[in-house]
């Protein structure tokens, strides 16, 4: 399971001109399920995200988590994180989970996030989305959980 995490001042997801998910300060999480991923990887990814200390403390050091600051999570499915361009210029997505399994793992992750954190917004799995964000820092962290 892969994610790109961005510390944001604000972020939203629009579909067909309508906002479907939005947060103020917090984390934008672009999440990708890959072939062979299982629930325990989603659990580990969520635990890491909730404890990831990338928000500034009073001394200006990155020492606080999204839970510490009461920030939001905006979770967006992003199968293109599984892209492989080693064979040419057109990406291959064979490492991405099959659509049904990708949806199941995404929905599992979102349900677990909502049970563990008070502010969780989402995009829509498989939709053509426009993601708007104000990256705070900028701070962008790639994460990968391996079996």
Give SS3 for 130. strand
> Residue 75 in contact with residue 32, Cβ under 8 Å?
no
β-bridge mates for residue 25, sequence order:
none
CA distance 103 to 57: 36
The active-site residue out of 78, 109, 122, 125 is: 78
Q: Is 19 an active-site residue?
A: no
> Residue 119 in contact with residue 26, Cβ under 8 Å?
yes
The active-site residue out of 79, 109, 122, 125 is: 79
Distances (CA, A) of 2 to 9, 93, 95: 23, 13, 11
Beta strands 72-77; 120-122: pairing state: parallel
Q: Is 140 an active-site residue?
A: no
Instruction: Count CA atoms within 13 Å of residue 91 on its CB side.
Output: 9
The active-site residue out of 80, 94, 130, 144 is: 80
Q: Is 80 an active-site residue?
A: yes
* Active site positions, annotated: 78-80
């Amino acid at each position: 399971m892969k994610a790109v995490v961005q510390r944001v001042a604000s972020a939203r997801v629009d579909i067909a001109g309508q906002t479907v998910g939005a947060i103020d300060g917090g984390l934008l999480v672009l999440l990708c399920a890959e072939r062979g991923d299982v629930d325990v990887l989603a659990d580990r990814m969520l635990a890491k995200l909730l404890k990831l200390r990338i928000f500034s403390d009073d001394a200006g050091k990155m020492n606080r988590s999204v839970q510490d600051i009461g920030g939001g999570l905006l979770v967006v499915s992003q199968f293109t994180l599984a892209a492989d361009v080693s064979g040419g210029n057109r990406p291959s997505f064979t490492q991405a989970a099959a659509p049904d399994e990708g949806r199941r793992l995404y929905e599992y992750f979102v349900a677990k996030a909502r049970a563990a954190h008070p502010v969780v917004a989402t995009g829509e799995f498989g939709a053509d989305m426009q993601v708007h964000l104000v990256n705070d820092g900028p701070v962008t962290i790639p994460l990968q959980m391996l079996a």
